[in-house]
Structure 1
Amino acid sequence: MKFAATRMHKGFTLIELLIVIVILGLLASIVGPQMFGKVDKSRVQTAQTQMKMLETSLNTYRLDMGRYPASLDLLLQSDEANWQGPYFPQEVPPDPWGNDYVYRMPGDNGAPYTLLSYGADGVEGGEDNNADIIYK
């Protein structure tokens, strides 16, 4: 009697699957941190862009009213004479981390106003992603 050893193998062995999983894990550990770094950088750029739009609205308000508003809410609605707004097309958005932008009038160091975001942690000061983003 002869036994035929011509069984066809289909699929992967356990060793082959483990090797692929290890390789995918290594690739993810290399690429993952770089991608998350880009997300943080894009949030900073989004905050800067939103503050630039707010600056344009603040300057338009100043041209009509002769002064900067006491709060960002006055860009949207006011009963004052000469007010020709709304000066911002929608509600003032939160910063990319979900916190309100900080607007102070008069501003710091003799500036007419200060506009800033406290960054990822929402607290004044900080480093890296938690650093304040001050619009100049």
Structure 2
Amino acid sequence: MSQPGRPHIMAVFLPIAFVAIGLVVWLGIRGKHDPGAAQVHADFARVLAALDVYRAEHGSLPEEGDLSFLVPKYLPEVPKDPWGHDYAYASNGQSPFLQSYGQDGLRGGNGPNQDHTNHDGHAVLKPR
């Protein structure tokens, strides 16, 4: 029980905790802003749709390499990421893996240098 005239510890602690949590979330979101992410995932959606049609016609996907096997029948051209780099492609024959290494073209990074894959919470081509 709190003493008269002294604020209850929770009345002081809770507002400070909410401000601290909000600040951590805001800084985390702010630090990860990536203006190219929307274009990367739009490209992934187009490529995944083309890969789905290719797989339906051929029974499986090539295991790795570039995406030139999709041109011109499935895509008019092989897209580049927003920074001019080729997308990395690999597959187990059924499930494709696409990746952009971000603005710097190197693995890892934050903000515009952050890597993106088709398995990071966006549309994924389902195995048949």
Q: TM-score range by the shorter chain?
A: 0.5 to 0.7
Q: Which residue of 2 aligns with 1:31?
A: none
State how far apart, in whole Å, the 2-side matches of 1:112 and 1:61 are.
12
Q: CA deviation at 1:124?
A: 1.1
Q: CA deviation at 1:94?
A: 0.7
From 61, 69, 83, the counterpart of 1:74 = 69
5+ long unaligned stretches in structure 2: 1-29, 120-128
Q: Which residue of 1 aligns with 2:87?
A: 101
Larger fraction in helix: 1
What value does the CA root-mean-square deviation take over the aligned residues? 2.1
Indicate the structure whose relative CO is greater, using CA pairs within 8 Å and at least 6 residues apart. 2
Q: CA deviation at 1:101?
A: 0.4
1:118–1:130 CA contact under 8 A, matched in 2: yes
Q: TM-score, normalised by structure 2?
A: 0.60
State how far apart, in whole Å, the 2-side matches of 1:41 and 1:128 are.
5
1:106–1:112 CA contact under 8 A, matched in 2: yes
Runs of at least 4 residues off by over 2 Å: none
SS at match of 1:114: strand
* Identical-pair percentage: 34
Q: TM-score, normalised by structure 1?
A: 0.57
Deviations along 1:17-48, one digit per CA (max 9) or x if unpaired, are xxxxxxxxxxxxxxxxxxxx8xx644210110
From 76, 92, 99, the counterpart of 2:78 = 92
